[in-house]
Amino acid sequence: MMLFYDLPLELVIRILSSATTLSDLRAVACTSRRVYSIFLGEKTALIYQALSHELGPVPTDALALSNIQILDASSSSYHSQVR
What is the per-residue pLDDT across 39-81, written as a single tens digit (0 to 9) for each? 999 999 999 899 888 888 777 777 777 766 665 556 666 556 5
User: Which residue, 39, 10, 44, 7, is CA-closest to 26?
Assistant: 39
- Where residue 21 falls (left for φ over 0; alpha for ψ -120 to 50; beta otherwise) is beta
Encoded amino acid at 46, one letter? L
What is the per-residue pLDDT across 16-36, written as a single tens digit (0 to 9) for each? 999 999 999 999 999 999 999
74 secondary structure, DSSP code: T
